[in-house]
Amino acid sequence: MLAALKKRRAIRNFLPQPVEREKIEKLLEAATYAPNDRMREPWHFYILQGESLKNYEQVALSYLQERFPTKPNLVQSSMEAITNTPLIIVVTSSIVEGDEGATKDNTFAVSSAIMSMWLMAEELGLGMVWRTRGVGLVHDTALHAFIGASENEQLVGTLCIGYPEEWITNEKKRTPFLEKTTWL
Question: Which residues are near ligand FMN by CB under 6 A?
Answer: 9-10, 12, 129-134, 136, 172
Closer CB to ligand FMN, 172 or 180, in the complex: 172
Closer CB to ligand FMN, 51 or 156, in the complex: 156
Q: How far is the CB of 184 from ligand FMN (least distance, A)?
A: 27
Q: What is the spatial distance between Cα 28 and Cα 87, in angstroms, rounded to a whole number?
A: 13
Q: How far is the CB of 131 from ligand FMN (least distance, A)?
A: 4
Closer CB to ligand FMN, 21 or 71, in the complex: 71
Q: How far is the CB of 21 from ligand FMN (least distance, A)?
A: 26
Closer CB to ligand FMN, 22 or 163, in the complex: 163
Q: With helix as H, strand as E and coil as C, how does the chain read?
A: CHHHHHHCCECCCECCCCCCHHHHHHHHHHHHCCCCHHHCCCEEEEEECHHHHHHHHHHHHHHHHHHCCCCHHHHHHHHHHHHCCCEEEEEEEECCCCCHHHHHHHHHHHHHHHHHHHHHHHHCCCEEEEECCHHHCCCCCHHHHHHCCCCCEEEEEEEEEECECCCCCCCCCCCCHHHHCCCC
Q: How far is the CB of 46 from ligand FMN (least distance, A)?
A: 17
Closer CB to ligand FMN, 98 or 173, in the complex: 173
Q: What contacts 15, CB < 8 A, 6 or more positions away?
A: 86, 162, 163, 164, 165
Q: What is the total residue count of the chain?
A: 184
Q: How far is the CB of 17 from ligand FMN (least distance, A)?
A: 21
Closer CB to ligand FMN, 174 or 183, in the complex: 174
Q: How far is the CB of 4 from ligand FMN (least distance, A)?
A: 13
